[in-house]
Structure 1
Amino acid sequence: VDLVPDRLSGARERGAEVLDLIEHEADLAETIRQMTDGRGTDSVIDAVGMEAHGSPGAKLAQQVAGLLPDSIAEQLMQKAGMDRMHAFYLAIDIVRRGGTISLIGVYGGMADPLPLLTIFDKQIQLRMGQANVKRWVDDIMPLLTDDDPLGAEQFASHRVPLDQAPDAYSKFQKKEDGFFKVLLSP
């Protein structure tokens, strides 16, 4: 499930069954239940976090907060709870009873209520946290060599030299020119 055309086509090219959130926003949960014989998904990976676009008002508030000095924006996010929990709420809705939700997207505020009774009743397992990079670097680095045994390079939408990193980050943040995964070369 995504709303970025480049990511949808990339997943489709790799054999995944995809749903365009723009086409299915009103009926996503029902569509997924139909696809899974009424069960829901075994697991959901929320890699979006507070970048999810739930309500236009929340999106605008977060964009405005992003223009403020960090010290003010941080307090506003924590106290006013401007997180956009849309993706997480969708995950709770579409995962099957006893399923697992893995949160790798970042949520930063503290004022958003969690539907704990629903999570408890559905017996949902929550897994979350930042990647333990130090733990996995020795295992993953041999798989990310120039030989590319996992085919990881094919996921990059753009390849740019390291000296163009600031411009690439800006385009990535603004989602300009199809920038969604950037490979920086030294």
Structure 2
Amino acid sequence: MRGIDTIDLRAGTDVGEVVRDLTNGRGADSVIDAVGMEAHGSPVARLGQKAVSYLPDAVAGPVMSKFGTDRLAAFYMAIDVVRRGGTISLIGVYGGAADPLPILTLFDKQIQVRMGQANVKHWVDAIMPLPTDEDPLGVDGFATHRLPRAEAPHAYEVFQRKEDGAVKVLLTP
């Protein structure tokens, strides 16, 4: 659909192998990690975060900022699938202070890492007129589902489970 090959992570597929097969062994030129700290994958990090959630806020905050770890499964996957000399763009937010990054692998593969939060205030004046024009960004047809706002919980479930071909859900008033 839309010229995109989908790889189902639930199938136990080695995503790196699939991407390299699709690119004749090369890997992706660019990878976007838009998942961030809620990525699933590390049972130890998940357990630690759950344990800290039982602490009083006055204690939990300093503990997480000093010893917090993120679940880096999506970032590690990005490193695996990007080609040598490729680019990883991190727009997902990672907040842990004790994350073990594979710096040697990043260095060896000559990966360029770009990251940061969207500077919305800087770009909003330039972007806001675009959706009212004649769809210069090609976004009008991107929504696969249009539902009334009252069905938002159902829409989220359909999107989360990727049911009925859900890619983007547009909620209307």
The CA distance in 2 between the partners of 1:51 and 1:156, in whole Å, is 25
The CA distance in 2 between the partners of 1:185 and 1:146, in whole Å, is 19
Which of 153, 158, 171 in structure 2 is aligned with 1:178? Answer: 158
Determine the structure 1 residue equivalent to 2:45. Answer: 58
Decide whether aligned partners of structure 1 residues 36 and 178 sit closer, same or farther in structure 2, where only a CA change above 3 A counts. same
Determine the structure 2 residue equivalent to 1:14. Answer: 2
Decide whether aligned partners of structure 1 residues 146 and 159 sit closer, same or farther in structure 2, where only a CA change above 3 A counts. farther
Decide whether aligned partners of structure 1 residues 152 and 108 sit closer, same or farther in structure 2, where only a CA change above 3 A counts. farther
RMSD over equivalenced CA pairs, Å: 3.1
Determine the structure 1 residue equivalent to 2:101. Answer: 114
Determine the structure 1 residue equivalent to 2:163. Answer: none
Identical aligned pairs, as a percentage? 59
Determine the structure 2 residue equivalent to 1:44. Answer: 31
The CA distance in 1 between the partners of 2:57 and 2:135, in whole Å, is 39
Say whether the 8 Å CA contact 1:52–1:87 is kept in structure 2: yes
TM-score when normalising by structure 1: 0.71
Say whether the 8 Å CA contact 2:42–2:72 is kept in structure 1: no
TM-score when normalising by structure 2: 0.76
Q: Mark the structure with the bigger radius of gyration.
A: 2
The CA distance in 1 between the partners of 2:84 and 2:120, in whole Å, is 31
Determine the structure 1 residue equivalent to 2:16. Answer: 29
Q: What do residues 136-157 of structure 1 show as CA deviations (whole Å, max 9, x unaligned)?
A: 2123212222865523464375
Determine the structure 1 residue equivalent to 2:91. Answer: 104
Structure with a larger share of its residues in helix:
1
The CA distance in 2 between the partners of 1:66 and 1:52, in whole Å, is 17
One-letter amino acid matched to 2:158 = G
Q: What is the Cα deviation at residue 48 of structure 1?
A: 0.4
The CA distance in 1 between the partners of 2:143 and 2:6, in whole Å, is 16
Determine the structure 2 residue equivalent to 1:9. Answer: none
The CA distance in 2 between the partners of 1:57 and 1:156, in whole Å, is 36
* Range with greater deviation from structure 2 (64-73 or 140-149): 64-73
Determine the structure 1 residue equivalent to 2:65. Answer: 78
Q: What is the Cα deviation at residue 99 of structure 1?
A: 0.3
Q: What is the Cα deviation at residue 159 of structure 1?
A: 4.3
Determine the structure 1 residue equivalent to 2:116. Answer: 129
Say whether the 8 Å CA contact 1:160–1:182 is kept in structure 2: no
The CA distance in 2 between the partners of 1:44 and 1:97, in whole Å, is 12
Unaligned runs of 5+ in 2: 161-167
Say whether the 8 Å CA contact 1:78–1:110 is kept in structure 2: yes
